[in-house]
Amino acid sequence: MTERTAGLARDRNRPPRHRYRLGVMGGTFDPIHHGHLVAASEVARRFALDEVVFVPTGRPWQKDAREVSEAEDRYLMTVIATASNPRFTVSRVDIDRPGPTYTVDTLRDLRTERGDDVDFFFITGADALSAILTWRGVEELFGLAHFVGVTRPGHELSVPPKEQVPEGRLTLMEVPALSISSTGCRDRVSEGDPIWYLVPDGIVQYIAKRGLYHDDEPDHAGHQTAPAGGGSGLPANRLPDIERASGTERGGIL
């Protein structure tokens, strides 16, 4: 055997180079919280994903009835929350495309960006999955990605009718139950309640810095500081009872 043919024989014994496996985690992320991050991390592990790209929506048309924070704020929060995970990235495809956000466009744009050698896994929580038949171009969706529906407390994980989902294009998966929602986080901030540990620390700080989810400006409405960083920053009449009772200056429970 020549050196060259020996090399070829070795190549034949090697497992074929695997196709790149890309998870796609779409969401409004207003704000991003640990429920999103745990779902993405669990799916990444189960499906041996090379990367999960988080895609903040531009204009989430099914949330038109309420005010959604500026896309740049939601984008930056997503970058901050995912920065420490080398497999997590963030895409601007949805926020840079004008008009309402449709997942068919997200997946088409990502395909154009990433090329044909990539398998897509679109991650969705039980609530979003149960509404999937109302999504634009649903008949095309399951051809563009494998869908992974994850459990979410308070929502039943149900499968769309068989005739709508091609064989083998949807997997249902249980993930650790985190009863956290962006709505709950926004409500807590506007009530002056803490969101530490529901969202990454950097998100608490970003929300305070930008004054998000408060009716007033940040400096007037309670600038929350990190637990180890001194006083709560909340006006005295908004301090939680335990802090007032102990008279502590550190506000450690916020």
Ligand X SMILES: Nc1ncnc2c1ncn2[C@@H]1O[C@H](COP(=O)(O)OP(=O)(O)OP(=O)(O)O)[C@@H](O)[C@H]1O
Ligand Y SMILES: O=C(O)c1ccc[n+]([C@@H]2O[C@H](COP(=O)([O-])O)[C@@H](O)[C@H]2O)c1
Binding to ligand X in span 182-241, by CB under 6 A: 182-183
Contact with ligand Y (CB under 6 A) among 35, 60, 149, 233:
60
CB of 27 to ligand Y, least distance (A): 4
> CA–CA separation, 65 vs 25, rounded Å?
23
Task: Name the phi and psi angles at 90, rounded to 5.
Answer: -130, 140
Residue with tokens 């020996």: 6
Q: How far is the CB of 169 from ligand Y (least distance, A)?
A: 16
Task: Give the DSSP letter of residue 162.
Answer: G
Segment interacting with ligand X, rule: CB under 6 A, options 89-97, 106-114, 164-172, 181-189 = 181-189
Query: What tokens were used for 214?
Result: 């408060």
Residue of this chain nearest to ligand X (CB atom): 125
Angle at 196 between CA 33 and CA 210, to 5 degrees: 75
Question: What gap in Å lies between CA 188 and CA 251, rounded to an integer?
Answer: 17
Nearest approach in angstroms of CB 23 to ligand X is 12
47 is a contact residue toward ligand Y (CB under 6 A):
no
DSSP category for residue 199? B
String of contacts with ligand X for each residue 117-146, x by CB under 6 A: -------xx-xx------------------
30 near ligand X, judged by CB under 6 A: yes
Residue from 18, 17, 27, 19 nearest 53 by CA:
27
Binding site for ligand Y (CB under 6 A): 26-28, 57, 60, 62-63, 101-103, 128, 135-136
